[in-house]
């Protein structure tokens, strides 16, 4: 929300995000079938008695028969919520729900938030200790110092599952990783670096300890709190944890401390560092302003004062996000997978080193492509971004290995290579690619036409698109759009509006379209009417005239009607068949279904082209395509009249020697269920299909819409592929966020 950040959103939008649909950010989903009487008898009484007795006899079986082994409690009493201070347990719930969903999103760890309404250390400790049977681990969050030190230490001693105060150790691990790389880039070593740490709370004390454990001499770190420098002999506002970092010095203020210092680490509060002070730091200073949500100093101010600095913050909207989100999901993943009894220093240091190492590696092509710019190790990239898919494979593996080596793993991993493979499979690459596509859009914002500017859902999408920094919305609509934008809390002046009634572009548009359609029997008068009245034609003409990079429409007219209008202005790309893809996205799988929107009964050539085009999109979205041509029949059984096209398409792909797996014709159960597929051992797919080519529009469109309405997974699309210009037709039921996703995919060139 800060002015200089490249992600803008209003307070209203933040509240809407949290309240829309089901309030809050989490829900619980059953992982077993619950449909029949028999299911219920197994899930609950009487069937449930069997695992109860088994666990009573052997407690370790709780990991086999309950969710314990993958379940973490995110616990707070709200006494230090981010950098916002002590706002109480209830107010901390949005942050704790947020941490819970990050656990799931980044590392497939199930997590539940628990806000406990007490500042009494003993009551808090007792309450948490009693929860040991329920969870595989405890993540303490936003509990203020010095109480947090006693709470964590006592719980670590009393509990036999990992207890980890994220603000202490999560933060320390990430800061250490960033610092390793920043020191390396500026030719320093821990031994000869002078660090000033603003803040002497949970995060700061833990960071100081870890950095010293990595080689920083005690006297090289000056720590400050609200009272000033923590020096030996200071009496005011001290405690044993601060005392441990007291230094023999006559420096008393931040200004005294910063003179000639190499590194500033802020773990204090917003705007607590003025740019003037930075000017006295050593050449090539390192500035980690880590307070959330607003840093000790904003990066643009810091950069203006010290252009030679390496700058990091806790936020995702500037380069170098040094935030514990890079740690806790992956650290717990590794700890849970070896059933570690604790998270010890060896595991923390292993995580820090693995993170630092990852930032130095070449960024993989799909990550770089989605970023829009080449990210390579340097002052603007000292630490990987949280959605880098490699984190999930590398950090848990490093943590698990360190747990095994240091003797705290109760279930060691035998085959590390297989473990790493299983980590990869836990996350759906689509989710990473989408996150990266959003990042890419922010790095390289494009102009996108929203043709139906009078619709509220479209305006909300356009506002989100703009405020998210994903690009510049170009709105098509009448005067009333101004008023509607205002009603939604946006400033109309910030938006570009094209109204066909007064657009100076109309004569050029008419010229273009008349030239195109005159030999299809249209009179100039017909064309003028179309341009003036029809927003899809007008929008498509804006695209043709180069006024924008992509176009989104679809919520006011049926798909077929919208397509008919667009085709008057925009052709299929040369030599291509246009078609539609619906993408079904689950936690760990993605399925691409085509052609769901354009060709009623695709012929041999069209089917082959649809398969090739869909395979390309699947690759762009991070998946190695395995294409199945679907039918009611398996390899000719039963015989039927409609199978020839499919057979012909497969033959064409054979002739073209395409570089992806394809097979057919086959029924969906054979394509998707490995046991069914095993009955056809000659089939050439190396695993369940992830690209389903349908024999005709009827079956394709019906299947996609059935899945959207009845299936539990989310659906992207339809994406329109193969047009001469990037134009997307959303379903009439699209939500604002679905429209934004389509806009991002269109502008970023994934949907083409």
Ligand X SMILES: NC(=O)C1=CN([C@@H]2O[C@H](COP(=O)(O)OP(=O)(O)OC[C@H]3O[C@@H](n4cnc5c(N)ncnc54)[C@H](OP(=O)(O)O)[C@@H]3O)[C@@H](O)[C@H]2O)C=CC1
| Catalytic (active-site) positions | 99
Spatial CA neighbour of 373 closest among 472, 445, 440, 446: 440
Please indicate if the annotation marks 140 as binding a ligand. Answer: no
Site for ligand X in 130-159 (CB under 6 A): 144-145
Q: From the CB of 305, what's the least distance to ligand PYR, in Å? A: 24
d(CA 137, CA 735) in angstroms, rounded, equals 37
User: 166 vs 665, which CB is nearer to ligand PYR?
Assistant: 166
Q: Which stretch binds ligand X (CB under 6 A): 219-227, 578-586, 641-649, 724-732?
A: 219-227
Q: How far apart are CA 658 and CA 98, in angstroms?
A: 44
Q: What residue is closest to ligand PYR based on CB?
A: 292
Nearest residue (CB) to ligand X, 14 versus 56: 14
The single residue among 110, 142, 337, 612 that binds Mg ion, judged by CB under 5 A, is 142
From the CB of 205, what's the least distance to ligand PYR, in Å?
14
**Minimum distance, C-beta of residue 356 to ligand PYR, in the bound complex (Å):** 19
- From the number of C-beta atoms within 10 Å of its C-beta (0-12, 13-18, 19+), residue 73 rates as buried
Instruction: Give dist(CA 199, CA 195) in Å, integer.
Output: 13
Chain positions contacting ligand PYR, by CB under 6 A: 82, 142, 166-167, 292, 314, 323-324
Residues 292-311 that bind ligand X (CB under 6 A): 292
Known binding residue 415? Answer is no
Q: Is 77 helix (H, G, I), strand (E, B) or coil?
A: coil
User: Which three-class secondary structure state does DSSP give residue 533?
Assistant: helix
Question: What number of other Cβ atoms are within 10 A of residue 42's Cβ?
Answer: 15
Nearer to ligand X, 171 or 690 (CB): 171
Minimum distance from residue 324 beta carbon to ligand PYR (Å): 5
Q: Check binding of 83 to ligand X (CB under 6 A).
A: yes
Instruction: Report the partner that residue 199 touches, choosing among ligand X, ligand PYR, Mg ion, none (CB closer than 5 to 8 A by kind).
Output: ligand X
* Residue of 135, 132, 128, 123 lying closest to 63 (CA atoms): 135
CA nearest 205: which of 148, 154, 262? Answer: 148
Per-residue exposure over 411-448, b if at least 16 CB sit within 10 Å of its own CB, e if not: bebeeeeebbeebeeebbbbbbbbbbbbbbbbeebbbb
Q: 356 or 513, CB closer to ligand X?
A: 356
Long-range CB pairs of 398-401 (<8 Å, 24+ gap) are 398/334, 398/350, 398/351, 398/353, 398/354, 399/330, 399/331, 399/333, 399/334, 399/335, 399/343, 399/347, 399/350, 399/351, 399/354, 400/334, 400/335, 400/337, 400/338, 400/340, 401/350
Nearest residue (CB) to ligand X, 80 versus 584? 80
83 among annotated binding-site residues = yes
Binds 610: which of ligand PYR, Mg ion, ligand X, none (CB < 5-8 Å by kind) = none
Site string for ligand X, 42-81 (x = CB under 6 A): --------------------------------------x-
User: Was 86 annotated as part of a binding site?
Assistant: yes
- Could you tell me the smallest distance in angstroms from the CB atom of residue 171 to ligand X? 4
Nearer to Mg ion (CB atom), residue 167 or residue 595: 167
Say if CB 604 and CB 649 are below 8 A apart.
yes
475 belongs to an annotated ligand binding site: no
Does 167 help bind Mg ion (rule: CB under 5 A)? yes
Among positions 446-505, residues that touch ligand X (CB under 6 A) are: none
User: How large is the greatest C-alpha to C-alpha distance in the chain, in angstroms?
Assistant: 94
Torsion sign (Cα): 173, 179, 185, 187: negative
Rounded-to-integer distance, Cα 404 and Cα 505, Å: 69
Q: Strands, E, within 389-459: which ranges?
A: 446-450
Instruction: Tell me the window of 63-71, 129-137, 265-273, 586-594 that interacts with ligand X (CB under 6 A).
Output: 265-273
Angle (deg, nearest 10), helices 736-747 and 429-443: 70
Tell whether residue 696 is among the known ligand binding residues.
no
Q: Is 292 annotated as a binding residue?
A: yes
Known binder of ligand: residue 142? yes
CB of 595 to ligand PYR, least distance (A): 45
How many residues in total does the chain contain?
752
Instruction: Pick the binder of ligand X from 97, 225, 612, 665 (CB under 6 A).
Output: 225
Contacting ligand X (CB under 6 A), which of 109, 291, 461, 716? 291
The answer to whether 84 is a known ligand-binding residue is yes
The verdict on 666 binding ligand X (CB under 6 A) reads: no
Task: Supply the minimum distance, in Å, between the C-beta of residue 142 and Mg ion.
Answer: 4
Are β-strands 310-313 and 286-289 bridged in parallel, bridged antiparallel, or unpaired?
A: parallel
Q: Determine the Cα angle at 511 with ends 506 and 512, to 5°.
A: 100
Name which of 221, 268, 265, 266 is nearest 246 in CA terms: 221
Query: Binding ligand X by CB under 6 A: which of 2, 8, 134, 227?
Result: 227
Size of the site for ligand X (CB under 6 A): 30
In the bound complex, what is the minimum distance in angstroms from residue 18's beta carbon to ligand X?
19
Q: Give the residue at shortest CB distance from ligand X.
A: 201
- Of residues 261, 304, 253, 295, the one with CA closest to residue 280: 261
Residue whose CB is less far from ligand PYR, 292 or 435:
292
Contact predicate 147/167, CB 8 Å: no
Of these partners, ligand PYR, ligand X, Mg ion, none, which one is at the site of residue 693 (CB under 5 to 8 Å by kind)? none
Q: Is 277 annotated as a binding residue?
A: no
CB 409 within 8 A of CB 338: yes
Instruction: Choose between 2 and 66: whose C-beta lies nearer to ligand PYR.
Output: 2
Full strand arrangement of the beta sheet holding 471-476: 496-498, 471-476, 446-450, 550-553, 727-729
Binding mask 530-569 for ligand X (x = CB under 6 A): ----------------------------------------
Q: Are 116 and 29 in contact (CB under 8 A)?
A: no
Mark 105-126 as b/e (b = at least 16 C-beta within 10 Å).
bbbbbbbbbbbbeebebeebbe
Instruction: Fill in the per-residue mask, 316 to 345: x = in contact with ligand X (CB under 6 A), - = not in contact.
Output: ------xxx---------------------
Burial class (CB in 10 A: 0-12, 13-18, 19+), 271: middle
Q: State the minimum distance, in angstroms, from the CB of residue 279 to ligand X.
A: 19
Which does residue 326 bind out of ligand PYR, ligand X, Mg ion, none, counting CB within 5 to 8 angstroms by kind? none
Residue 237's binding partner out of ligand PYR, Mg ion, ligand X, none, with CB under 5 to 8 Å set by partner kind: ligand X
For residue 548, give the nearest of 734, 725, 723, 719 by alpha carbon.
Answer: 725
CB of 634 to ligand PYR, least distance (A): 53
Tell the smallest beta-carbon distance from residue 170 to ligand PYR (Å): 7
Residues 173-202 close enough to bind ligand X by CB under 6 A: 198-202
Environment class of residue 80 by beta-carbon count within 10 Å: exposed (0-12), middle (13-18) or buried (19+)? Answer: buried
Name the residue nearer to ligand X (CB basis): 315 or 446.
315
Residue 549 assigned as binding residue: no
Nearer to ligand PYR, 241 or 592 (CB): 241
Scanning 50-58, 285-293, 397-405, 467-475 for contacts with ligand X by CB under 6 A, the matching segment is 285-293
Instruction: Name the one range near Mg ion by CB under 5 A: 166-174, 389-397, 490-498, 574-582.
Output: 166-174
Per CB under 5 A, does 113 bind Mg ion? no
Task: Report the C-alpha gap between 348 and 707 in whole angstroms.
Answer: 43
H or E element at residue 719: strand 714-721
Residues in the site for Mg ion, rule: CB under 5 A?
A: 142, 167
Binding residues are 81-88, 141-142, 167, 292
Residues in the site for ligand X, rule: CB under 6 A?
A: 80, 82-83, 144-145, 167, 171, 198-204, 224-227, 237, 267-269, 272, 290-292, 314, 322-324
Binding residues for NADP(+) are 81-88
Binding residues for a divalent metal cation are 141-142, 167, 292
């Amino acid at each position: 929300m800060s002015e200089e950040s490249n992600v803008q959103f209003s307070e209203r939008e933040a509240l809407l995000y949290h309240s829309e649909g089901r309030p809050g950010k989490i829900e619980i989903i059953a992982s077993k079938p619950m449909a029949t009487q028999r299911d219920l008898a197994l899930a609950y009484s009487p069937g449930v008695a069997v695992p109860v007795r088994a666990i009573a006899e052997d407690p370790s079986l709780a990991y086999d028969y309950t969710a314990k082994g993958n379940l973490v409690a995110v616990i707070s009493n709200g006494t230090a919520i981010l950098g916002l201070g002590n706002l109480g347990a209830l107010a901390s719930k949005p942050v704790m729900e947020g941490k819970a969903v990050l656990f799931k999103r980044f590392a497939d760890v199930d997590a539940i938030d628990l806000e406990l309404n007490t500042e009494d250390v003993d009551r808090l400790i007792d309450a948490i200790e009693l929860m040991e049977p329920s969870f595989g681990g405890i993540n303490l969050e936003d509990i203020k110092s010095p109480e947090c030190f006693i709470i964590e230490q006592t719980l670590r001693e009393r509990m036999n599952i990992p207890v980890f105060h994220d603000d202490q150790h999560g933060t320390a691990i990430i800061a250490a990783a960033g610092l390793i790389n920043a020191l390396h880039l500026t030719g320093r070593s821990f031994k000869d670096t002078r660090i000033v740490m603003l803040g002497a709370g949970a995060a700061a004390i833990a960071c100081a300890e870890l950095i010293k454990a990595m080689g920083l001499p005690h006297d090289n770190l000056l720590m400050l709190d609200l009272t000033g420098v923590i020096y030996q002999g200071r009496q005011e506002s001290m405690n044993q944890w601060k005392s441990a970092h007291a230094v023999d010095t006559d420096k008393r203020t931040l200004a005294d401390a910063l003179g000639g210092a190499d590194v500033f680490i802020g773990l204090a509060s917003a705007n607590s560092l003025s740019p003037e002070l930075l000017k006295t730091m050593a050449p090539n200073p390192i500035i980690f302003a880590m307070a959330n949500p607003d840093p000790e100093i904003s990066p643009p101010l810091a950069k203006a004062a010290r252009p030679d600095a390496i700058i990091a913050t806790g936020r995702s909207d500037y380069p170098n996000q040094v935030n514990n989100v890079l740690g806790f999901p992956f650290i717990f993943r590794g700890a849970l997978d070896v059933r570690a009894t604790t998270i010890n220093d060896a595991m923390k240091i292993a995580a820090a080193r693995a993170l630092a190492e990852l930032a130095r590696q070449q960024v993989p092509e799909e990550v770089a492509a989605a970023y829009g710019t080449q990210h390579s190790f340097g002052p603007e990239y000292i630490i990987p971004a949280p959605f880098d898919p490699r984190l999930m494979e590398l950090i848990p593996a490093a943590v698990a290995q360190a747990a095994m080596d240091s003797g705290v793993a109760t279930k060691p991993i035998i085959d590390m290579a297989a473990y790493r493979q299983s980590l990869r499979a836990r996350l759906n690459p689509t989710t990473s690619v989408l996150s990266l596509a959003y990042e890419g859009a922010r790095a390289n914002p494009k102009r996108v036409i929203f043709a139906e500017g009078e619709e509220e859902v479209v305006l909300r999408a356009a506002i989100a698109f703009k405020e998210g920094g994903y690009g510049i919305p170009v709105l098509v609509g009448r005067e009333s759009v101004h008023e509607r934008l205002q009603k939604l809390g946006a400033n109309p002046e910030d938006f570009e509006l094209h109204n066909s009634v007064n657009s100076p572009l109309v004569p050029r548009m008419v010229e273009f379209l008349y030239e195109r359609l005159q030999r299809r029997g249209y009179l100039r008068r017909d064309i003028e009417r179309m341009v003036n009245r029809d927003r899809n034609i007008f929008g498509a003409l804006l695209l043709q005239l180069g006024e924008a990079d992509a176009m989104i429409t679809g919520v006011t007219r049926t798909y077929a009607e919208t397509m008919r209008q667009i085709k008057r202005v925009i052709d299929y790309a040369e030599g291509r068949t246009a078609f539609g893809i619906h993408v079904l996205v689950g936690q760990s799988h993605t399925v691409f279904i085509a052609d769901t929107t354009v060709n009623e009964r695709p012929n041999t050539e069209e089917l082959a082209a649809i398969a090739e085009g869909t395979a390309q999109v699947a690759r762009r979205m991070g998946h190695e395509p395995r294409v199945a041509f679907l039918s009611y029949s398996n390899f000719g059984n039963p015989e039927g009249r409609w199978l020839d096209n499919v057979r012909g398409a497969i033959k064409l792909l054979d002739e073209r020697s395409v570089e992806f797996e394809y097979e057919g014709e086959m029924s969906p159960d054979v394509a998707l269920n490995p046991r069914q597929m095993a009955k056809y051992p000659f089939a050439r797919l190396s695993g369940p299909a992830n690209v389903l080519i349908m024999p005709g529009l009827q079956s394709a469109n019906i299947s996609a819409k059935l899945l959207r309405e009845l299936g539990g997974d989310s659906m992207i699309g339809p994406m329109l592929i193969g047009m001469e210009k990037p134009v997307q037709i959303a379903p009439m039921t699209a939500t604002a966020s679905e429209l934004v996703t389509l806009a991002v995919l269109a502008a970023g060139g994934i949907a083409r």
